[in-house]
């Protein structure tokens, strides 16, 4: 089975702190994604990457950056956390080799910024 | 840009009965994929069912089936013989065909399903 692992399930950070959310997948997937989930807004794409060192902005990239130095790892970075970034963050991955390109999700990281 | 609309923020169903969750989408493309994902309280998003737009036959996975109406741009999910474990948020999602190796899902805002014993 595909495994997408987000290293932190629950984090509490202070305003202005730099925050790293880490995601690792074990199925050699080319594509990786970071979504943000908020009540009433559904899931919104922050950034995605289709190859090592490649990244593309999603729908809401402001205030975020990403890093993909290795194929299996995709990090989301909040350079200076703000309270409006309190949310659930979901990492996902997929492969172009898989018919239908199903996207697999991690368990989510709940970030609270105080 | 593609959009996905789930018009029912919340639904409830009695255990063992059938419930249908609605989803409509807007696109100018002729080839695409549609998905229903389930997110239980544990927060793990799980793929429930997938439909390729070029297939006329509706997808089915055990108690889950879809009613795909391409002309109407409608993609509803039917859950038969509902079980307590079906209680979750359900998200409808749209994906364009892969272009240049990149892809993304567009999600609806979700429908919260409650199953009453």
* B82 Cβ neighbours under 8 A, 6+ residues apart: B13, B14, B15, B16, B17, B18, B19, B63, B115
What share of residues in chain A are helix, strand, coil (percent, to 5)?
5, 50, 45
Among the listed residues B3, B4, B34, B10, the one whose alpha carbon sits nearest the alpha carbon of residue B90: B10
Q: Which of the pair, B8 or A101, is modelled with greater confidence?
A: B8
Chain A residues within 8 A of B100 when measuring between CB atoms:
50
| Residues of B within an 8 Å Cβ radius of A | 9, 33, 35, 37, 42-47, 50, 52, 91, 95, 98, 100-105, 107-110
Distance from CA of A36 to the nearest CA of B (A): 11
pLDDT-derived band at B55 (thresholds 50, 70, 90) equals confident
Tokens of A114: 């105080």
Q: Does A101 lie at the interface with B, CB-CB under 8 angstroms?
A: yes
Q: What is the pLDDT along chain A (114 residues), one digit of tens a residue?
A: 668 999 889 999 999 999 999 999 998 999 999 999 998 888 999 999 988 989 999 989 999 999 999 999 999 999 999 999 999 999 999 887 766 677 899 999 999 999
> Contact B104/A48, CB-based, under 8 Å?
yes
- The partner residue sitting opposite B33, judged by closest CB among A51, A100, A105, is A100
> Contact B91/A43, CB-based, under 8 Å?
yes
Q: Chain B residue with minimal CA distance to A56? A: B102
Chain B residues within 8 A of A88 when measuring between CB atoms:
43
């Amino acid at each position: 089975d595909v495994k997408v692992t987000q290293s932190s399930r629950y984090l509490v950070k202070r305003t202005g702190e730099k925050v790293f959310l880490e995601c690792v997948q074990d199925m050699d997937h080319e594509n990786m994604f970071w979504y943000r989930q908020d009540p009433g807004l559904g899931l919104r794409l922050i950034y995605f990457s289709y190859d090592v060192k490649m990244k593309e902005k999603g729908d809401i990239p402001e205030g975020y950056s990403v890093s993909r130095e290795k194929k299996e790892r995709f990090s989301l970075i909040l350079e200076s956390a703000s309270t409006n970034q309190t949310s659930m963050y979901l990492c996902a991955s997929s492969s172009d080799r898989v018919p239908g390109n199903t996207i697999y999700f991690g368990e989510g990281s709940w970030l609270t910024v105080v | 840009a593609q959009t996905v609309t789930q018009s029912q923020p919340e639904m409830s169903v009695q255990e063992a009965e059938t419930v249908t969750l609605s989803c409509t989408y807007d696109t100018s493309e002729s080839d695409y994929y549609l998905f229903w994902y389930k997110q239980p309280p544990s927060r793990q998003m799980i793929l429930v069912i997938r439909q390729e737009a070029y297939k006329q036959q509706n997808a089915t996975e055990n108690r889950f089936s879809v009613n795909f109406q391409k002309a109407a741009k409608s993609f509803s999910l039917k859950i038969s013989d509902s079980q307590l474990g079906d209680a979750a948020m359900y998200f409808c999602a749209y994906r364009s065909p892969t272009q240049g190796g990149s892809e993304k899902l567009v999600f609806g805002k979700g429908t919260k399903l409650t199953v009453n014993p």
